[in-house]
Amino acid sequence: MSVELTEALFQKAAGWDVVKRARAYLEQGQVLSSYWAPPLLRGVVQGGEMSYRASLVIKSDIDVENLCTCREARQWGKICAHGVAVGLHWIASQRPTHAQTDSGDGRARPSVRAGSSQIPGGAHGVTRPTRTSSLQRGDSGEPAELFLILPPNFDQAIARGKVMLVLEAKWAGGRGPLNALPKGRMFAFSAQDNTIIEQLETLTNGETPALLQMDAKDFAALLPVLAGHENITLGKATGVTVVKTPLTLPLRATLEANGEIVLALKETISTLAMIGDWVWRNRTLQPLGLPAVAKDVFRAPVRITRSQVPTFLSVFWPQLQTAGGVEANFTLDDFTLEPQSPRFLLALKGGLIQLNALLQCAYGSRIMTVGVTAADEAVWLPDPEVPTRYSTRDISAERTALARLQRSGFSAPDSQGKLQLTGQNAVLNFLAREFPKLQREWSVTLDEQLENRTLKNIERVEPQFQITSSGVQWFDLGVVFASSGGEKFSAAEIQRLILSGQNHTRLKNGKMAVIDSGAVEELQEVLLDCAPQQHAQGYRISNQQAGFLEATLRQHGDWKVSVPSAWRDRAAKQTGEAKLECPPLGDLETVLRPYQKQGVAWLGFLRANGFGGILADEMGLGKTLQTLAFLNSLRTGDCGLRI
């Protein structure tokens, strides 16, 4: 049962992207011809300055063999857009272009399209394109048999890249050149013979050949339909066998110290020649059962560079295992892939009414558009230190970056990766809150209008902090807000703006001031957590909160903070950034171990800051001794913390 050609079949066999490119060929009129004689689909596609003879052997929606002359088909074995375009052209050609006519007996008869001819009883009952050849073929014709004769010096012909093929036919009247069969008579060839003749006529613009000189590519494209044919010879005597069973070669894969992999034959094979992806050996032609990356291994060892190793292991290594296995000094477990954080590139353009963004990420020199580049598109970066370790895409980081922009109000990316932020309030809020952070963390570029017209007329309002010590227990925190141009606002003025729903205001110089309302709200929450006492100059806060406040202020690198060094030292000790000093231990100095001295210093730190804590060393580690040493330091007047 023959396969019905449909667009769904091609999409399942080749994928959506290939079908999309095939449609483009068809719409641009680049498909010059198409012909379908199950299982062979063939035609010609003009691609730029080159013409591609596209052929597909379609046995089912999962059994499709590509015989196209393009590089994608020959080297990688993929189903290319040329073959799919020919199929779409054939499907389109089968749609009726004229109304049905009456046959005279009351039955509808389909009209015949221009440029084609109906051959009664033709192979598979299909419509054949008009040929300049007078050779007629059909199931009801006289039996005929095709013979294919290769030159006796076939080995030398392969080396030159040219093959002379002689075609003869045998019928009741004898045997002679294929094009010498009597004109005006119909001949019945086998289905395989018909397929071979049709493919050869493609190379001769429809003429039925008797002698054909072919280059290696065309001959290799013919071989799949010659498989199993009984009438192929060298000269007229020596039989030639063409089989579809792939030839497997014994291989060895060696992982070298620099991380490269070398593929080589385990044993020397001398009587071997290649015609495309086919092997000529012992008067037998058969496909080489190796992936494209290993096709040349019989000529010389194949070196897989470090940048090629991940693709080799993920794509071609399983194929090698399926093709008969390969001896190796490594396993896949020897290699590691670790996500690498990408470098984000943000391009912004537009103005206050609408802001357009393009978010990309860079892995080394590889740049991808976030939200557009498929998640399964792989990137592998060799680790310069470890030969078997590679970095790969961090999909989670890419999605987080995109979500960050969308939380600021940007739309989802379109097919080109472009995002939009619409509305003056939304744009100003983005410029106030998220934009400064992105400038610090990402590589941000601005178009001329945004940089020289819009942003030059905008100033950001940031808080400024003045911290002064107020004794042992307290410190004072003064807070004012100032624009980048120097205009100041009180905390109360800022609070009134935010409560009114505004994140911007006009400055005395005429520029627009934008306020990071989120930062202001965060600051208020921090101050509330510190339980401050408010006064005219600001806030009075317990020294116990020094570390907490310092850590919060540090998260905002663009905030201006003026603090005394002693207060910063205290905060550093509270956050664990500064080493705690153990007080003098007297006679116990040589008794306590290093970890016990750390425990004494920590107890002193708790007392100096008014913190509570539990010394929870395991049993037998000297908690009692540490406690006694700490109490002794109190008795001598040194608690271990000096401010």
User: What confidence tier does 489 reach under pLDDT thresholds 50, 70, 90?
Assistant: confident
User: What confidence tier does 120 reach under pLDDT thresholds 50, 70, 90?
Assistant: very low
Q: Would the pLDDT of 491 be above 80?
A: no
Q: Would the pLDDT of 547 be above 60?
A: no
- Stated as kind and residue range, the H or E segment containing 8 is helix 7-14
Rounded Cα distance between 58 and 41, Å, is 7
pLDDT tens figures, 241-300: 999 888 877 889 999 999 999 998 887 766 678 888 888 888 999 988 877 778 778 778
Burial 346-374 (b: 16+ CB within 10 A, else e): bbbbbebeebbbbbbbebeeeebbbbebe
Rounded Cα distance between 412 and 402, Å, is 8
pLDDT of 255: 94
HEC secondary structure over 584-604: CCHHHCCCCCHHHHHHHHHHH
Rounded Cα distance between 371 and 355, Å, is 18
Give backbone dihedrals phi and psi of 131, rounded to 5 degrees, phi first. -115, 150
User: What confidence tier does 100 reach under pLDDT thresholds 50, 70, 90?
Assistant: very low
In 386-438, at which residue ranges do the beta strands (DSSP E only) sit? 389-393, 418-422
User: What confidence tier does 424 reach under pLDDT thresholds 50, 70, 90?
Assistant: confident
pLDDT of 184: 83
Structural contact between residues 389 and 334, judged by C-beta atoms closer than 8 angstroms: no
Q: What is the dihedral of CA 295, 299, 301, 305, to 10 degrees?
A: -50
More confident: 458 or 229: 229
Q: How far is CA 258 from CA 261, 294, 302, 308, 383, in A?
A: 9, 20, 15, 13, 11
pLDDT tens figures, 450-477: 888 788 888 777 776 766 676 666 666 6
User: What confidence tier does 541 reach under pLDDT thresholds 50, 70, 90?
Assistant: low
For 125, other C-beta atoms within 10 Å of its C-beta total 12
pLDDT of 313: 86
For 134, other C-beta atoms within 10 Å of its C-beta total 13
pLDDT of 227: 93
Strands of the sheet containing 31-37, edge to edge, are 31-37, 40-47, 50-60, 63-66
The stretches of 28-138 forming alpha helices (DSSP H) are 71-76, 81-93
pLDDT of 246: 86
User: What confidence tier does 604 reach under pLDDT thresholds 50, 70, 90?
Assistant: confident
pLDDT of 471: 61
pLDDT of 259: 92
Rounded Cα distance between 444 and 439, Å, is 6
Q: Name which of 16-30, 340-354, 411-425 the model is least confident about.
A: 16-30
pLDDT of 377: 77
Burial 565-576 (b: 16+ CB within 10 A, else e): eebebbbebbee
pLDDT of 233: 94
Q: pLDDT averaged over the chain?
A: 78
pLDDT of 409: 93
Q: At 178, is the secondary structure helix, strand, or coil?
A: helix
DSSP class of 416: T
Rounded Cα distance between 510 and 507, Å, is 5
Most confident of 220-229, 549-558, 603-612: 220-229
Q: At 530, is the secondary structure helix, strand, or coil?
A: coil
Q: What's the mean pLDDT in 316-345?
A: 86
Q: What's the mean pLDDT in 504-518?
A: 76
User: What confidence tier does 537 reach under pLDDT thresholds 50, 70, 90?
Assistant: low
Q: Would the pLDDT of 93 be above 50?
A: yes
pLDDT of 110: 36
604-607: Cβ within 8 A, 24+ apart: 604/580, 604/630, 604/633, 604/639, 604/640, 604/641, 605/573, 605/580, 605/640, 605/641, 607/634, 607/639, 607/641
Q: Would the pLDDT of 116 be above 60?
A: no
pLDDT of 226: 94
Q: Which residues are CB-neighbours of 330 under 8 A, at least 6 positions away?
A: 253, 255, 261
Q: Name which of 166-180, 320-334, 345-359, 416-430 the model is least confident about.
A: 320-334
Helices 81-93 and 7-14 cross at an angle (nearest 10°) of: 170
Q: Would the pLDDT of 554 be above 70?
A: no
Rounded Cα distance between 345 and 360, Å, is 5
pLDDT of 617: 78
DSSP class of 452: I
Most confident of 37-46, 262-271, 457-466, 484-493: 37-46
Helices 565-574 and 594-609 cross at an angle (nearest 10°) of: 120
Q: Would the pLDDT of 303 be above 90?
A: yes
Burial of 388 per CB tally in 10 Å (0-12, 13-18, 19+)? middle
pLDDT of 527: 66
Angle at 440 between CA 439 and CA 446, to 5 degrees: 15
- Stated as kind and residue range, the H or E segment containing 265 is strand 261-265
Q: Name which of 212-226, 304-318, 411-425, 602-616 the model is least confident about.
A: 602-616
